[in-house]
Amino acid sequence: MSTPVIVANNVRKVFGDFVAVDDISFEVAPGESFGLLGPNGAGKSTTMKMVGAVSTRTSGELNILGLDPNTDGPAIRSRLGVVPQDDNLDNELRVRENLLAYGRFFGMSHKEVATRADELLEFAQLADRHDARVEPLSGGMKRRLTIARALMNNPKILLLDEPTTGLDPQARHILWDRLFRLKEQGTTLLLTTHYMDEAEQLCDRLIVVDKGRIMAEGSPADLIRTYSTREVVEVRYGSDKNAEVAPLISHLADRTEVLPDRILLYTDAGEATLARISELGHHPVTSLVRRSSLEDVFLRLTGRSLVE
Amino acid sequence: MTTVEQIRAGAARTRRWGWWYVAEERLRAMRGYSTSLIVTSFGNPLVYLFALGVGLATLVPAGIDGVTFLQFVAPALMMSTAVTVAAEESMYPVMMGFKWTKIFFGFHATPITPGQIVGGMVATVVIRVMATVAVFFGITVAFGATPVTTFVPMVVIATLTCLAVALPLIAYTATLTNDTGQLAMIQRFVIMPMFLFSATFFPLSQLPVYLQWIGWMSPLWHGSQTARVLSYGMDEPLWTSIAHIVVLGAFAVVGAIVAHRVFVRRLTV
């Protein structure tokens, strides 16, 4: 196996009495797409900041591209691309100027930044907006511009903190497509998300994080196989009746979760389970059979939903 | 695999020139409102010198300090212009960088360090102040208020005065997580009184003693007095002139140290 580009061993980050990141360990191989999946406040962004060499860890070992971010921050950052949760683009500059100015921070010449900016505007599908103001751009366009900006230095590792939060479905899919292309080109991606579909789409491997701790690690398929069943039956009886019906049908599934608005029955044969529910005379108001997702893994591991 | 040495070497250019890359970014941003900058750079001195030279000066026919009123007031006006520009560029752009567009966090995600961001912001202020003062100087020369030979020393003292104001203001603004009127208060209760009570229009000795302390504490007064010495040879003991420079330098150095600390704290969480 090739040398990992990120190695975290028992990393902790404490703010006063609050433990934001509690003893986490993971490794990321070159070219791998690695995700940190967890709800808001799980410690994902703090981990990202430590990897991005802008936040010092309280204890543990962290190694990025062979260097310690606590002592070699600027050198590490020279090889990273960072897409933060909030687009911190410069609204006083035009679209292309944002790329030109940012490229200079890496010591690139004026000629180099000009060439690279034009390539990346094409990649980000923003070439026709090169002279536009940043402020009126749509959320999706701003995100694509931020990704283009993060690629100016041709980074070894691209860090993406909640890359599609706040975007509409179409904008998300465009962005996923761009990220998928980067993945195909061999760029190492490290991303945080609380969207399970995003993690499934983009991550080769991921860790599920909650309250600063790693709950599970593996590929999306492995995690689903380990922590959930093949299928899930969702039935709704009305918010005041779900809890009442759940004990009457729970024996039909391997596991049951009662949420405020629905009951989830974990089973390997969803349609057959749904038929049995009807045979018993418990006809739901609405029903759905779907395959298990990382959302179910998270629910199993923490007893809570990812998006709260 | 890229070696550790190659990675460190790759960041070497930014290690040396990072502050300038930040200044370049800010100057690029200024191009967006360059017209208003140019208009105010020329307009301000013209309006002031015309009003004071043609208007107010007629009320002071004997002049002050052995020179005409315009010659007395011109060096101080030049320094107050430096202070006004320094204050303008040291408060809202810093608030913007940390709070409104958060661009400083974007800068810091690159090899740029917090200290280089401070350096770049200061360089931007200094460049704008030097350009503004150069225009002001040209107009004072045209009005016959300043000898043309004093250009370099006047720009140097304006820059020092600018640093003495800009660095503490950059440091203070960086401590703010929200602007709930603090910056407007600084304009009204620090910059404006400094302009009025720093012997810009009359000698400090004209003020009651209990108000003179404002002048002594004001970087603008120290800058203006030095500018008067340089411009028309105002009579002042050498130790006083040295004291002015030392005070201005102290404001700048303390401001730089505090600004650096605050930027590191805000950006390295």
Q: What are the residues of chain A with a beta carbon less than 8 Å away from any beta carbon of chain B?
A: 2-3, 30, 49, 52, 54-56, 65-67, 72-80, 82, 84, 86, 88-93, 97, 100-102, 104-107, 149, 153, 156
C-alpha distances (whole Å) from A187 to each of A5, A35, A104, A203 are 11, 14, 21, 13
Task: Tell me the average pLDDT of chain A.
Answer: 92
pLDDT band at A308 (very low <50, low <70, confident <90, very high): low
Q: Which residues of B touch A132 (CB under 8 A)?
A: none
Whether residues A77 and B10 touch (CB distance < 8 A) is answered with: no
Instruction: Give pLDDT tens digits for A4-13.
Output: 999 999 999 9
Which residues from A are below 8 Å from B110, CB to CB? 77-78, 102, 105-106, 153
The 10s digit of each residue's pLDDT in B18-60 is 999 999 999 999 988 888 888 888 888 888 888 887 788 888 8
Q: Which two tokens stand for residue B67?
A: 């020179």
- As for the ipTM of the complex, it is 0.90
Q: How confident is the model at residue B83 (pLDDT cuts 50, 70, 90)?
A: very high
Which residue, among A21, A68, A78, would best test binding to B if mutated, counting the most B CBs under 10 Å from its CB? Answer: A78
Q: Tell me what the mean pLDDT of segment A100-112 comes to.
A: 97
Edge-to-edge strands of the sheet including A286-291? Answer: A255-258, A263-267, A231-236, A286-291
Contact B131, B41 (CB under 8 A): yes
Question: Quick one: how far is CA B56 from the chain centroid?
Answer: 26
Say which residues have a Cβ less than 8 Å from residue A33's Cβ, sequence separation at least 6: A183, A188, A189, A191, A202, A203, A204, A205
How much of chain B, in percent, has pLDDT values that exceed 70? 99
pLDDT value at residue A169: 87
Within-domain flag for B6: no
Q: How far is CA A120 from CA A116, B11, B120, in A?
A: 6, 22, 26
**What pLDDT sits at residue A307?**
55
Cβ atoms within 10 Å of B241's Cβ, excluding its own: 16
Q: How many residues does chain B have?
A: 269
- Say whether residue B6 is in contact with chain A using an 8 A CB cutoff: no
Contact B268 A79 (CB under 8 A): no
Q: What pLDDT is attached to residue A1?
A: 57
Phi, psi of B67, deg, nearest 5 = -130, 170
Determine which helix (DSSP H) or strand (DSSP E) holds A26, and give its type and residue range: strand A18-28
Residues of A in contact with B12 (CB under 8 A): 107
- Secondary structure string (H, E, C) spanning B104-165: HHHHHCCCCCHHHHHHHHHHHHHHHHHHHHHHHHHHHHHCCCCCHHHHHHHHHHHHHHHHHH
What's the rounded Cα separation, in Å, for the pair A43 and A54?
A: 15
Does residue B10 lie in a domain region? no
User: What is the CATH number that goes with domain A6-217?
Assistant: 3.40.50.300
Most confident of B1-10, B110-119, B140-149: B110-119
Number of domains into which chain B is organized: 1
Architecture in CATH of A229-291: 2-Layer Sandwich (3.30)
Residue with the two structure tokens 């730089």: B256
Question: pLDDT (tens digit, 9 = 90+) per residue, A26-52?
Answer: 999 999 999 999 888 899 999 999 999
Q: What are the percentages of helix, strand and coil residues in chain A, rounded to 5?
A: 35, 25, 35
Angle (CA) B102-B105-B110 rounded to 5° is: 140
Residue B210 makes CB contacts below 8 A (sequence gap 6+) with none
The region that residue B71 occupies, defined by phi over 0 for left and psi between -120 and 50 for alpha, beta otherwise, is alpha
Whole-angstrom Cα distance, residue B111 to residue B10? 10
Instruction: Let me know if residue B7 belongs to a domain.
Output: no
Q: A113: how many CB neighbours lie within 10 A of its CB? A: 21
What does the DSSP 8-state code read for residue B54?
I
> A62-90: per-residue pLDDT in tens?
999 999 999 999 999 999 999 998 889 99
Specify which residues A190 forms β-bridges with.
A34, A159
User: Of the candidates B183, B182, B174, B214, which has an alpha carbon nearest to the alpha carbon of residue B87?
Assistant: B183
Better pLDDT: A52 or A175: A52
Answer whether A164's CB lies under 8 Å from A171's CB.
Answer: yes
- Domain borders along chain A are 6-217, 229-291
Judge whether B8 lies within some domain.
Answer: no
Smallest Cα distance from B136 to chain A, Å: 27
Whether B230 is covered by a domain: the verdict is yes
Best of A54, A90, A98 to substitute, by most chain B Cβ atoms within 10 angstroms, is: A90
Q: How many CB atoms lie within 10 A of CB A251?
A: 9
Whether A148 has a pLDDT exceeding 60, the answer reads: yes
Confidence of residue B65 (pLDDT cuts 50, 70, 90): confident
One-letter amino acid identity for A41?
Answer: G
Q: Which domain holds residue B51?
A: 18-267
Residue of B nearest to A4 (CA): B1
Residue B12 lies in a domain: no
Structure tokens at A76: 């590490």
pLDDT for residue B4: 87
Q: Please compute, for residue B52, the number of CA atoms within 13 A of its CA located in the half-sphere on the CB side.
A: 23
pLDDT single digits (tens) A218-275? 999 999 999 999 999 999 998 888 889 999 999 999 999 998 889 999 999 999 999 9
CA dihedral of residues B9, B11, B14, B16 (deg, nearest 10)? -40
CB pairs under 8 A between A and B: 112
B25 in A contact zone (CB under 8 Å): yes
